[in-house]
A and B are shown apart, each in its own frame.
Chain A
């Protein structure tokens, strides 16, 4: 990273009695960056967020914001905007009163407060619902009030704790676009905690994939997707097919099939774990004339995903997930005999997790 870090977590750890929730997390977030903490439940991502917010005291390590140690600062004075999974809107206050709360706490004079509340609500396109109580709003509207409430105080850092997971799929996608656009426009440094890899990949500039209280990989989403650090990341981000093989002189062999290795793996010898993404596999009917050799198999199941067909193909090397673009052609039937092939440069080597 070239820009000086805005937020730095330095060997952060948290124990609850004998249980270690966060083992060792070190990462930095650049000013204006949108970072995702991604991982399955229990990986320590929420605890990490709670420590940044100040609700949990770290057992080890430091949190630096703009170079200043935050460890002793109480949550009320950290200047951090928070959006919770349950939104946590004050039920006895209207949308406008909810948004005004943080400004009141900062003793912003009334006329300015009113103006800023109106601006914040307009920003999330809720100007017309200012006088409504949260219980009379839809989930998406409550979500946007929560966002306006966190942003109106112009926080230095915005923390989002699974902000979209209570919304239905369609609305979630809309909110993702909106959230991304809003964060870009305001330019506030943002940390998102989520277990939803699609959400993290869609929203974040970089994702930190966590497992067992550690960060396994930090990269731009497409980089992490393309070159996963280990088998865990490969499986957690999208779908992947595993291919255990034996490498020898630029080739790999598995179950009697020989195929080329990419140049960077050409000097590998011995056992090797390879992986390939479903969309990098080509699938074709066996009977196609003059076709190059490939891996033969049989379609076991197929799922229609709109833009794509997802086939499960049983082969001598195990089951493969294959993503085939919906070109309008008749899909392959279940049970059809097919041949799979791929380009050597689509193969990745995995460190076993």
Chain B
């Protein structure tokens, strides 16, 4: 009986653990193994093992550039998403309940549109003869039309568009747990609206902000379609390089090495983020013991 009791948790979690192992760990191990093989254009994947692929990558300036670009885009996207999404969540939180539902739907809207459609929309807007440039030319803005497409800026705009809802939803959830009387307490002590937000509301919804930021960062760093469509062929990011190796050059081992490096880099960034920022913010709120990093 006691032995069965001890086994119960393991038995109950076994199915999901198996799915996880089968769908995540096995393929990951496969990718890792693949990245350690050599490749020849005549013979395909070579049987020998080695770190040659990684050596190639880290000595290739193009890869370094793409890696830096990937993180630059992801970082900038995260920053803008926070600057837009946190106040947005706050505004919606304070809205009349009648308007809150429709507004949330508007916020979530970008997530409901296919990535291809969404990016074609941005291409129409940002092209040399696109709406934005037409407007700027009509307004006689000096230098118009600008080159907007196939720039890192275009990629960031496209990513922010779809990532903002993630921040809004995650901060919104935190705001729901905030005691509304806190704002009145701060107001009665003489705090203006802005101070109430920065000194009382924001510190208390930090877990939601952090979780949102982490999601946006990871998804932006590994995004493929948006950088490929709005950044074009010349503006390589790690995920588009990976795609290229797998499907165009057919150098699967190199592609696997790229994927591994990207994953490791994101994991490292995540860990650093959690260590440096999140723990400190959460310790103040006393949630480390209960929730751990989000």
Interface segment among A83-91, A201-209, A277-285, A322-330: the answer is A83-91
B25 within 8 A of A: no
A80 partner residues in chain B, CB cutoff 8 A: 188
* Interface size range on B against A: 20 to 34
- Known A92-B203, A92-B285, A135-B286; contact A75-B186, beta-carbon cutoff 8 A: no
Instruction: State whether B188 touches A53 (Cβ < 8 A).
Output: yes
Interface segment among A31-39, A99-107, A176-184, A240-248: the answer is A99-107
Residue among B184, B195, B203 facing the most chain A CB atoms (10 A cut-off) = B184
Q: Name B residues whose Cβ lies closer than 8 Å to a Cβ of A.
A: 179, 181-182, 184-192, 195, 199-200, 203-204, 284-286
A82 within 8 A of B: yes
- Known A88-B179, A91-B204, A92-B204; contact A133-B286, beta-carbon cutoff 8 A: yes
A228 partner residues in chain B, CB cutoff 8 A: none
Residue among A89, A92, A135 facing the most chain B CB atoms (10 A cut-off) = A92
The B-contacting residues of A in range 146-171, CB under 8 angstroms, are: 149-150, 153
Per-residue B-contact encoding for A68-83, CB less than 8 Å = 1, 0 else: 0000000111101110
Instruction: State whether B284 touches A92 (Cβ < 8 A).
Output: yes
Option from A77, A78, A82, A133 in Cβ contact (under 8 Å) with B185:
A82
Instruction: State whether B184 touches A84 (Cβ < 8 A).
Output: yes
Instruction: State whether A105 touches B189 (Cβ < 8 A).
Output: yes
Top 7 A-B residue pairs of the complex, sorted by shortest distance between their CB atoms: A105-B190, A102-B189, A88-B185, A88-B181, A82-B188, A92-B203, A92-B284
- Known A88-B182, A92-B285, A133-B286; contact A75-B195, beta-carbon cutoff 8 A: no
Instruction: State whether A76 touches B191 (Cβ < 8 A).
Output: yes
B199 partner residues in chain A, CB cutoff 8 A: 101
**What distance in Å separates the Cβ of B292 from its nearest Cβ neighbour in chain A?**
17
Complex: A92 Cα to B187 Cα, angstroms: 17
Complex: A80 Cα to B181 Cα, angstroms: 16
Option from B184, B189, B191, B285 in Cβ contact (under 8 Å) with A149:
B189
A308 within 8 A of B: no
Instruction: State whether B186 touches A106 (Cβ < 8 A).
Output: no
B185 partner residues in chain A, CB cutoff 8 A: 82, 84, 88-90, 149
**What distance in Å separates the Cβ of B176 from its nearest Cβ neighbour in chain A?**
15
Instruction: State whether B187 touches A91 (Cβ < 8 A).
Output: no
- Known A77-B190, A153-B190; contact A84-B203, beta-carbon cutoff 8 A: no
A304 partner residues in chain B, CB cutoff 8 A: none
Complex: A75 Cα to B190 Cα, angstroms: 8
Complex: A332 Cα to B188 Cα, angstroms: 55
Instruction: State whether A105 touches B191 (Cβ < 8 A).
Output: yes
B186 partner residues in chain A, CB cutoff 8 A: 90, 101
Complex: A90 Cα to B182 Cα, angstroms: 7
A91 partner residues in chain B, CB cutoff 8 A: 204, 285-286
Per-residue B-contact encoding for A108-151, CB less than 8 Å = 1, 0 else: 00000000000000000000000001010000000000000110
B182 partner residues in chain A, CB cutoff 8 A: 88, 90
Instruction: State whether A84 touches B204 (Cβ < 8 A).
Output: no
**What distance in Å separates the Cβ of B210 from its nearest Cβ neighbour in chain A?**
14
Complex: A81 Cα to B285 Cα, angstroms: 25
Residue among B187, B189, B192 facing the most chain A CB atoms (10 A cut-off) = B189
Instruction: State whether A153 touches B189 (Cβ < 8 A).
Output: yes
Instruction: State whether A76 touches B190 (Cβ < 8 A).
Output: yes
Complex: A150 Cα to B286 Cα, angstroms: 25
- Known A86-B179, A86-B181, A92-B284; contact A106-B188, beta-carbon cutoff 8 A: no
**What distance in Å separates the Cβ of A175 from its nearest Cβ neighbour in chain B?**
19
Instruction: State whether A55 touches B189 (Cβ < 8 A).
Output: no
| Further 6 A-B residue pairs, CB within 8 A, beyond A86-B179, A86-B181, A102-B190 | A53-B188, A77-B190, A84-B181, A90-B186, A105-B189, A149-B189
Task: List the A residue with the shortest CB-CB distance to B206.
Answer: A92
Instruction: State whether B188 touches A75 (Cβ < 8 A).
Output: yes
Instruction: State whether B187 touches A76 (Cβ < 8 A).
Output: yes
Option from B184, B188, B192, B204 in Cβ contact (under 8 Å) with A81:
B188
Instruction: State whether A88 touches B184 (Cβ < 8 A).
Output: yes
A105 partner residues in chain B, CB cutoff 8 A: 189-191, 195
Task: List the A residue with the shortest CB-CB distance to B193.
Answer: A76
B192 partner residues in chain A, CB cutoff 8 A: 76
Complex: A347 Cα to B191 Cα, angstroms: 54
A76 partner residues in chain B, CB cutoff 8 A: 187-192
